[in-house]
Amino acid sequence: MKLIHTADIHLDSPLSGVTNPNERRHELLVALNEMSEYANNNGVNAIIVAGDLFDENNTSEQTVRSVADIVGRSKASWFVMRGNHGGAAPYVLLHKLAAQINFFGEDWTFYNLGNVTICGRELGRNDAEYWQRLKLDTSRYNILVLHGDVDDPTYGLIDKNVLAACGAKYIALGHRHTFSEQRFGRVRACYSGVLEPRGFDECVQTGFVEIDTETDKIKFLNQSIRTVVTKRINVTGVQSDLALERAISDAVADVSKRNYLNAVLYGELSAGLHLSMVAARVLEGKYFALRVKDETSAQLNIHTIAEEVSLRGEFVKQAMQITDEQLRKDVLKMGLDALNGEVLQ
């Protein structure tokens, strides 16, 4: 039997900072549909959503209806956990529109599919008590579904010792937005990560996990309509604004305009260069989403400037008294940029 494990899709996220948030929100639905079509075309029997299908309280009725349409055309059985984002309303409507969806409750909820048992519960109340009550039939292929952080009980307790001894074959985790494999004793577990990146913190591979119970193997399948591309651009030795413009342009030449660009500028920046202005001229409005991070340090003869009879010289003398080296560099850079007419970011 084949199953898909996904999580943290966050449909109808606000998506501030992207060129067209409405388009991106629609693409998250497209990604969910493409995963479902993969399941239809590859003999997948079940799709497990390990939490946060919807985002906060922003979910529209139209989005819920679109999910119901995807489920209605799916050949697979769906098992959906709410997770910790959003209220109950979109899930209540989804269950009304697609009654075939299986949900998890506040107590351990069990579903049997052939020789596979899918079990899970929504975390958050009296977790320690419920962990003591978990019982799995070890003659079956048990998949446990949980939404939380295995290292942080802030949202809900995940008992690693119980997991190691519970008799599960695989644990489908949600909450972390990066794919990762875990081990609890001999029990395998995965955070599936996200289907599609929504922000610059989701800059690794995206997709979903496929589980094959016959071979007892799992694999991560990459899926992305758009990706987050990080470019680190060294500006050391650049002596003019035009040369800086060429350096940035050359570094991002291979980045598709349809993707998220995370541009990180680093190195020693020569005095007088207008980094913010040049970066904006080269990059703004040319990518689906853009973040420019300035990690440069000033390339200056600080001691010469400190001897100047000027506001700049007086500022440098005061800043040089800062004992923390990194803080001193940051203050010098921001202050000298401001005195030179740079716009502070």
Q: Tokens 């030795």 sit at which residue?
A: 237
What is d(CA 145, CA 128) in angstroms, rounded to the nearest whole number?
Answer: 17
Please indicate whether residue 330 or residue 210 has the higher confidence score (pLDDT): 210
Q: Is 241 exposed, middle or buried (0-12, 13-18, 19+ CB in 10 A)?
A: middle
Paired tokens of 12 = 């109808």
DSSP secondary structure, 180-200, as one string:
EEEEETTEEEEE---SS--ST
Q: Where are the domains of the chain?
A: 2-222, 228-339
d(CA 332, CA 313): 11
CATH of 2-222, one of 3.40.50.720, 3.60.21.10, 3.90.1300.10, 2.60.40.720: 3.60.21.10
Which has the minimum average pLDDT: 83-87, 115-119, 233-237?
83-87
Q: Let me know: does 45 contact 214? Beta carbons within 8 Å.
A: no
Q: What is the CA radius of gyration of the chain?
A: 26
- Are 71 and 100 in contact, with CB atoms under 8 Å apart? yes
User: Which pLDDT score is estimated for 342?
Assistant: 55
Confidence of residue 300 (pLDDT cuts 50, 70, 90): low
Q: What is the pTM of this model?
A: 0.83
pLDDT of residue 137: 95
Exposure of 111 by Cβ count < 10 A (0-12 exposed, 13-18 middle, 19+ buried)? middle
326 CB burial (10 A radius; 0-12, 13-18, 19+) = exposed
Q: pLDDT of 43-57, one tens digit each? A: 999 999 999 999 877
d(CA 190, CA 207): 12
Q: DSSP code of 208?
A: E
- Whether residue 181 contacts residue 189, with contact meaning beta carbons closer than 8 Å, is answered with yes
The pLDDT confidence band at residue 74, using thresholds 50, 70 and 90, is very high
Averaged pLDDT score across all residues of the chain: 92
Segment (H or E) for 290: strand 289-299
Cα 305 to chain centroid, rounded: 44
DSSP code string of 308-335: SSSHHHHHHHHHTT---HHHHHHHHHHH
Residue 298 has pLDDT above 90, yes or no: no
**DSSP designation for 249:** H
pLDDT digits (tens, 9 = 90+) for 244-253: 999 999 999 9
What average pLDDT does range 10-16 have in this prediction? 88
Alpha-carbon separation of residue 44 from 20, 39, 154, 225, 255 (angstroms): 33, 5, 34, 22, 34
Q: Is the pLDDT of residue 315 over 70?
A: yes
Helix axes 61-72, 89-97, angle to 10 degrees: 40
Per-residue pLDDT tens for 148-195?
999 999 889 999 999 999 999 999 999 999 999 999 999 999 999 999
